[in-house]
Amino acid sequence: MTKFTDLNLNAKVLKAIEEAGYESPTPIQAGAIPPALEGRDVLGIAQTGTGKTASFTLPMITMLARGRARARMPRSLVLCPTRELAAQVAENFDTYSKHLKLTKALLIGGVSFKEQDALIDRGVDVLIATPGRLLDHFERGKLLLTGVQIMVVDEADRMLDMGFIPDIERIFSLTPFTRQTLFFSATMAPEIERITNTFLSAPERVEVARQATTSENIEQGVVMFKGSRRDREASEKRKLLRKLIDGEGEKCTNAIIFCNRKMDVDIVAKSLKKYGYNASPIHGDLDQSQRMKTLDEFREGSLRFLVASDVAARGLDVPSVSHVFNFDVPSHAEDYVHRIGRTGRAGRDGKAMMICVPRDEKNFNAIETLVQKEIPRIENPLKLEKPEPPKEADAPKEKQAERKPRSRKPAEKPVEQQAAPTPKPAPKSNPKPRGRDRHDRGGRVVGMGDHLPSFIALSFDERRAS
């Protein structure tokens, strides 16, 4: 069995690994670290939760142990799709480099530019960034990428899904052609094939699991749910979620609840809090400090339920997550693999449950096709109450029979309110006027009232006279 001591890592790095409690590498680590240490490009494909982060941080720290950073010119670059994943990579770097004098800078949104500029000005060995913030610093003239020796793209498929292709291509063009490139991803989409063929040079492909497979130690299930009425579906779906949580009892020590939309994340978190569940939301619209605070509480165990959008689905290493609840069926089948990969990590058992409404069945079928197995159906624990019949049906039949159809004839006024009959006007000998003269009555212009201007009367008199 391979051990970290067999991988030709720096002695100080091995000491940090031992202090962290690790002895043997995971398959992706054992396959990716040796070619990375040789300076070759690496394309690593493995399901989430298999230790991809250490697959590039360990060889990177070993290779950077020799040399010194220059101001505004980082020696290595790690690109991450989200702030949370970038912060986690930074934590891994701190853990494994604590016995080496290496510096790092974390460039993510929600943090002051001034603080980040100060770090870059001093020179950093490792620059960990999201694409947008990295380009912001570059365009402000605060950063040069011509000194990058090692470039890492973490969760490459997610980077492409989130629309970072133009940014990734531009960042590649700003780095030296001689750089070493490491790509790590959980799935291998055709688009990534094009990117890797363009920017990687004869990469070592390390694939330790079939593409888009789910871990065997995760128990999966789905509830096929249909609301009693369309306007009640959302509230009944939230009630079903609470029933599923309650049904797990003490086995559900903590859980991540995934929703497709940020708005639903807030609604579900608020609903759970209302019913006494310890829950908080996390999504891209929240302030960075609030997102980090929520994640820290969840890691520490003071927060039981984390209601999240897909910003938390990729790469976040939260230990001992017992359950994952998919409140919504993900729009992309690959996201299902990443979502449920938050549980059952490092060989632990986990459980993933999903709620599927009729309009999501197409996406659900795509998930079963991708993972190449049928997800077991769970009996709906929610006994829906029959909808209330319309009020018309509640009325007794004899009363319904008494109701008469509405007459189109207007109702007559009471006798006391009726006006006295007016005498009929005498028939006129003149024939009915036509055209403009039909409104004339006895030579009088109708509608002018008693205040007829004299010049108008004069003009009519003159016309008659002629």
Domain boundaries along the sequence of the chain: 4-207, 218-371
Mean pLDDT of 118-145: 92
Structure tokens at 42: 């690496």
pLDDT classification of 143: cutoffs 50, 70, 90: very high
Predicted local distance difference test score (pLDDT) of residue 166: 85
Q: What is the pLDDT of residue 312?
A: 59
Is the domain spanning 4-207 CATH 3.40.630.150? The answer is no
Say which residue, 455 or 30, is predicted with more confidence.
30
Confidence of residue 393 (pLDDT cuts 50, 70, 90): very low
Query: Using one digit for the tens of pLDDT, what is the confidence trace for 154-207?
Result: 888 778 777 787 898 899 999 999 999 999 887 777 777 888 888 899 999 998
Whether 443 shows a pLDDT value over 80: the answer reads: no
Helix or strand (DSSP H, E) at 134: helix 131-139
353 bridge partner residues? 221, 325
- Residue 158 CA to residue 416 CA, distance in Å, equals 81
Q: How confident is the model at residue 85 (pLDDT cuts 50, 70, 90)?
A: confident
**Which one-letter DSSP state was computed for residue 438?**
G
Is 76 strand, coil or helix?
A: strand
* pLDDT > 60? residue 380: yes
How much is the average pLDDT of 315-319? 68
Q: Would you say residue 242 has pLDDT above 90?
A: yes
- Out of 110-114, 204-208, 269-273, 393-397, the most confident range is 269-273
CA distance 86 to 79: 8
How many Cα neighbours within 13 Å face the side chain of 405?
3
Q: Return all residues near 340 (Cβ < 8 A) that are at least 6 apart.
A: 214, 215, 218, 220, 324, 326, 350, 352
Share of the chain above pLDDT 90, in %: 46
Q: Which amino acid is at 58?
A: L
| Segment 316-327 mean pLDDT | 86
Of 265-279, 282-296, 419-433, the one with minimum mean pLDDT is 419-433
pLDDT band at 292 (very low <50, low <70, confident <90, very high): confident
Q: What is the mean pLDDT of residues 270-278?
A: 96
3-state secondary structure string, the chain?
CCCHHHCCCCHHHHHHHHHCCCCCCCHHHHHHHHHHHCCCCEEEECCCCCCHHHHHHHHHHHHHCCCCCECCECCEEEECCCHHHHHHHHHHHHHHCCCCCCCEEEECCCCCHHHHHHHHHHCCCEEEECHHHHHHHHHCCCCCCCCCCEEEEECHHHHHHCCCHHHHHHHHHHCCCCCEEEEEECCCCHHHHHHHHHHCCCCEEEECCCCCCCCCCEEEEEEECCCCCHHHHHHHHHHHHHHHHHHHHHHCCCEEEECCCHHHHHHHHHHHHHCCCCEEEECCCCCHHHHHHHHHHHHHCCCCEEEECHHHCCCCCCCCCCEEEECCCCCCHHHHHHHHCCCCHHHCCEEEEEEECHHHHHHHHHHHHHHCCCCCECCCCCCCCCCCCCHHHHCCHHHHHHCCCCCCCCCCCCHHHCCCCCCCCCCCCCCCCCHHHHHCECCECCCCCCCCCHHHHHHHHHHHHC
Residue 137 binned pLDDT confidence (cut-offs 50, 70, 90): very high
Q: Are 199 and 42 in contact (CB under 8 A)?
A: no
Mean pLDDT of 302-307: 95
Distance in angstroms (rounded) separating the CA atoms of residues 130 and 84: 10
What is the rounded average pLDDT of the residues 33-45?
93
Helix (H, G, I), strand (E, B) or coil at 210: coil
Mean pLDDT of 278-292: 86
Chain mean pLDDT for the chain: 82
Distance CA 105, CA 270 (A): 36
pLDDT at 169: 87
| Predicted confidence band of residue 284 (pLDDT cuts 50, 70, 90) | confident
Quote the distance between the C-alpha of residue 173 and its chain's center: 29
* Residue pointed to by tokens 């799709």: 81
Instruction: Specify whether the CB–CB gap between 309 and 338 falls below 8 A.
Output: no
More confident residue, 22 or 165: 22
pLDDT at 110: 76
Is residue 120 a contact partner of residue 137, using CB atoms and an 8 Å limit?
yes
- The CATH number given to 218-371 is 3.40.50.300
If pLDDT is split at 50, 70 and 90, which confidence band does 400 have?
very low
Query: Tokens 């680590």 identify what position?
Result: 29
Predicted confidence at residue 224, as pLDDT, reads 94
Mean predicted confidence (pLDDT) in 104-120: 87
E strand map for 108-254: 126-129, 150-154, 180-185, 204-207, 218-224
Sheet bearing 350-356, strands edge to edge: 218-224, 350-356, 323-326, 255-258, 305-308, 279-282
pLDDT at residue 106 above 60?
yes
The answer to whether residue 296 scores a pLDDT higher than 70 is yes
Place 396 in a pLDDT band, splitting at 50, 70 and 90.
very low
Is residue 145 a contact partner of residue 74, using CB atoms and an 8 Å limit?
yes
Residue 398 has pLDDT above 50, yes or no: no
Region 266-293 average pLDDT? 90
The C-alpha atoms of residue 54 and residue 26 are separated, in whole angstroms, by 9
Q: Do domains 4-207 and 218-371 have the same CATH topology?
A: yes
* Per-residue pLDDT at 93 exceeds 90: yes
Q: How far apart are the first and last CA of the chain?
A: 125
CA distance 333 to 326: 12
Range 252-265 average pLDDT: 93
| Burial (CB count <10 Å: 0-12, 13-18, 19+), residue 105 | buried
